[in-house]
Amino acid sequence: MKVGFRKVEIKNGQLLVNGKPVLFKGVNRHEMDPDGGYVVSRQRMEQDVRIMKAHNINAVRTCHYPDDSYWYDLCDRYGLYVVAEANLESHGMGYGKATLARRDDYRKAHLERNERNVQRNFNHPSVIVWSLGNEAGYGTNFEAAYDWVKAEDASRPVQYEQAGYKGKTDIYCPMYYPYDACQRYASEPSSAKPLILCEYAHAMGNSEGGFKEYWDLVRKYPKFQGGFIWDFVDQAIRWTGKTGAPIFAYGGDFNRFDASDNNFNNNGLISPDRRPNPHMAEVAYFYQDIWTTWGDSTQGEICIRNEQFFRDLSAFCLEWTLLHNGEAVRRGTVDHLDVAPGATGRLKLDLGPTDKEGEWLLDVAYRSKTQMGLLAAGHKAAHDQLVVKPYAAPALTLPESAHGNIVLPTPDVVQTDRNYLIVEGNGFRLEFNRHNGRLVRYAACGREFIKEGEALTPNFWRAPTDNDFGARLQTRYAVWRKPTLKLTAIDTKVSGKNAIVETTYDMPDVSGKLLLSYEVSPVGAVLVTQRFTATAGKEVPNLFRFGLQLPMPRTFNTIEYYGRGPGENYADRNHSTPIGKYRQSVDEQFYPYIRPQETGNKTDIRWWTMLDASGSGLRITSAEPFSASALHYTIESLDDGAAKDQRHPTEIQQADLTNLCIDKVQMGLGCVNSWGRLPLPQYQLPYGDYEVTFLLEPVTHQYAGD
């Protein structure tokens, strides 16, 4: 017979398991399979547990009904805390006076569903909290259910979100509580109940920006013990789309009669076929149990915090790598880690000498030495990156020769014909459209860097994410989609050996002016400055991004860059992506979110190079770390427009180009909810003055990626 023992109690505003105030690194899980629908096989359940454990998830809420019995067996066996919820939800009938929770003729239904939930799952030690239901208002029926459960099982706490703080619930478990509300509650001495969010960090589409800020609060305030992300898996099924392509189908795909909320049930950390969505990496990072900080960086001493409550770190080894400008210089392994549960240990690493040149970083990773449950030996349980010597952006100067081996004559400036202003020299040519001022041709080293018929253009827009749609930003920010650029002047001059072309624009739609300056060196490198000047006192919406869009020939299908990776990352979701050197294909940059949207961004970039098959191409550097992305899709092809339009990634054709976006910054993603909340203010781009400078430099295979 399989048995389990544990004690669950609430003391001093904290929920304790075996006397310890554990943190709930949780998810909500619906029973959903892309092939079986609501019928989930045992193999799929085992896969779900494996994914949860691999991504540091330690708790699950059975939203919003009791699960298959085998699920509880797996949670018992492999160690997941369970909030077991009764199948009771009636919010469609209304809250307040309209709630069924106040009606005597529904009292039996409220009681019976909770009775069966408890009696069926009583003997599962993984169940540490009973949940009376979900979104069904509050009234005497829930109070009666609470009393019955407490009388039947005094060993477990009982929670119900709609009971708020003052109602009959042992845990304060609100939904989608914003950061400031969490902080107010957790810092209030009179708050007597633990704060554990039953739903938070809505993971719909490209989301989970700002997840760090939730866990900064959890780790600061003892009464705030975590929560359950909404939710674990995108709820969609395999289907054949209207074009015949395979899709993951969501609401509205099946017929035109059924009520539909479009893709709103696709808000998971993983896709229907259990592929982790990009934001899962950020969750896994902030859910990890081992944290590394500097003790004394000058001596190579680190501090290792063991956030586990019941295990020491003897099951893990530490791997470290010292990086200089993104390249591994030295490595090492520490096999024995003597850090007790909840303790912090200090360890001195033999990092060897460093110098004052360039950027120095220390990567650390913790791997299991033996198999741990469903996870094989060598599983990476935690990682961090520490700064040894910070990055200092180089001064942007135009090269006079290509690595000292070629000197080209000064370009002939102000060659013009009726339609183009031409700047050219030995081996390169730039053409500016005289009617709109845009750079329409950039040729050097025998290659064209701008797709024929395209141009280097200012860009302030992204294909709205699901969180953007929820806040109606596709209409609120629409003035920035394609704002009018009225050319007012094209000026040319020579500065030393360099040619300068300046174009200025009025932007009446956004009450501003834009300057684009191109300084061209004798070797065909171009220093591009884009400066937007806002009009004081004008009320203009925020921007999605501030940068430039460069449609390149599709032959530039490889990226080398020094920045955060390897996965996509954004201003408020980049802590799980360490800074390093990466080489990837353009095809790898696109992630097929169930509903197409913004994807593929990278942040904190030091340099970025687009390469063709020969290893030649175009390198971009900036006066400060920047953001960039490169896709075989245009922004327009990923943009639903003013309303969502039942679209799927397999139905969108790739463009015959590589669309490179170079940004000073892109707005964050947010995660508080997907129906109105914006990212935190520090990750927004308010209307105002902006300026960015990029150096575009042709490179050859002889030194690409150096």
3-state SS class at 576 = coil
Which residue bears the tokens 């009179």? 190
Whole-angstrom Cα distance, residue 603 to residue 665? 8
Q: Is 429 exposed, middle or buried (0-12, 13-18, 19+ CB in 10 A)?
A: middle
Strands (E), 316-394: 316-324, 327-334, 344-348, 360-368, 380-389
Strands 545-552 and 658-666: antiparallel
Tokens in use for 436? 């709109």
Residues 199, 282, 519, 568: which is the catalytic one? 199
Do 665 and 520 meet the contact criterion of CB atoms below 8 Å apart?
no
CA–centroid distance for 315 within its chain:
30
Do 344 and 306 meet the contact criterion of CB atoms below 8 Å apart?
yes
Among residues 436, 431, 411, which one has the least CA distance to residue 421? Answer: 431
Rounded to 5°, the CA angle 650-654-660 comes to: 125
Tokens in use for 370? 């033996």
Do 224 and 184 meet the contact criterion of CB atoms below 8 Å apart?
no
Query: Is 135 one of the annotated active-site residues of the chain?
Result: yes
Residues 46, 115, 135, 301: which is the catalytic one? 135
Whole-angstrom Cα distance, residue 69 to residue 82? 13
Residue 681 CB contacts under 8 Å (≥ 6 apart), including other chains: none
Among residues 156, 135, 130, which one has the least CA distance to residue 145? Answer: 130
Do 411 and 427 meet the contact criterion of CB atoms below 8 Å apart?
no
Kindly write down the DSSP assignment for every residue of 97-164, as one continuous string.
GG-GGG-GGGHHHHHHHHHHHHHHHTT-TTEEEEE--SS---SHHHHHHHHHHHHH-TTS-EE-GGGT
Rounded to 5°, the CA angle 550-554-558 comes to: 90
Do 594 and 262 meet the contact criterion of CB atoms below 8 Å apart?
no
Tokens in use for 367? 């791997």
The catalytic site residues sit at 135, 199
